[in-house]
Amino acid sequence: MSSQDLTARARIREAAIDLFAERGIAQASIRDIADRAGVSSGLLRHHFGSKEGLRAACDEFAMAKMNEIRDRLMGPNTPLDPAVIATLHPSAMRLQHYLVKSMMEGPSTSLFDMSMEAGRSWAATVDLETDDLEAWLATMIALKMGMFMMREQVGRVLGEDMTTAAGFRRMLRASLEIFSRPLITPEQAEQAVKALDSLYPTEEKP
């Protein structure tokens, strides 16, 4: 879809996502975003009020889009749709890059909370074996974000730019292989959990 097909509000949001991801939240000014969107700074403030208001709108939009992709890929009893895979790059990489930037810069509690809430909604639709859902979700979010946060380091090792289709494919393919194969057996996991519980009991005895 061309920029001419987007409303002014959507053009501003798309320009902000790009600039926030490229430069970071602090370094992307209202004027820069307005110039990229082809609108006035006054119109930007009319739609979003402030830079933080714009950032919040970008957070909400990016999270909603990534949740939509997740549900199409990992929904209950949902067969894998090749068409979804085809949409993952570059749109998903762009949004993931933005979300990492937003979460790592400045107040990120609300965005992490949004990720947790989305995770709870997803967990309610699947058979997830855990006795500590909050810890499971928080750790999984950190693992997923870490993969994108360290994309430059991963790219240097692989000799690939993670923002390209080839680099993105290698990283995602590796993650699928990792998550599809247990690294330890269920028996080993049970033994490790028992050892952790004995070393670090949930309730300290007086």
The pLDDT-based confidence of 88 (bands split at 50, 70, 90) is: low
* pLDDT recorded at residue 1: 40
* pLDDT recorded at residue 82: 62
- The string of pLDDT tens digits covering residues 114-148 is 889 988 988 888 888 898 999 999 999 888 888 87
The pLDDT-based confidence of 103 (bands split at 50, 70, 90) is: confident
pLDDT at 75 over 70: no
* pLDDT recorded at residue 205: 42
* pLDDT recorded at residue 167: 85
Q: In this structure, what DSSP letter does residue 104 have?
A: H
Q: In this structure, what DSSP letter does residue 181 have?
A: S
Whether the full predicted model's pTM is greater than 0.85, yes or no, is: no
Say which residue, 1 or 55, is predicted with more confidence.
55
The pLDDT-based confidence of 181 (bands split at 50, 70, 90) is: confident
- Other C-beta atoms closer than 10 Å to the C-beta of 177 total 9
pLDDT at 40 over 90: yes
* pLDDT recorded at residue 31: 95
* pLDDT recorded at residue 2: 43
Which domains does the chain carry? 3-149 (1.10.357.10)
Question: How far apart (Å, rounded) are the C-alpha atoms in residues 153 and 156?
Answer: 5
* Residue of 102, 81, 82, 134 lying closest to 18 (CA atoms): 102
pLDDT at 48 over 50: yes
Question: How far apart (Å, rounded) are the C-alpha atoms in residues 93 and 171?
Answer: 11
Share of the chain above pLDDT 70, in %: 84
Under 8 Å between Cβ of 160 and 167? yes
Cα-based angle 71, 72, 77 (whole degrees, multiple of 5): 85
* pLDDT recorded at residue 38: 94
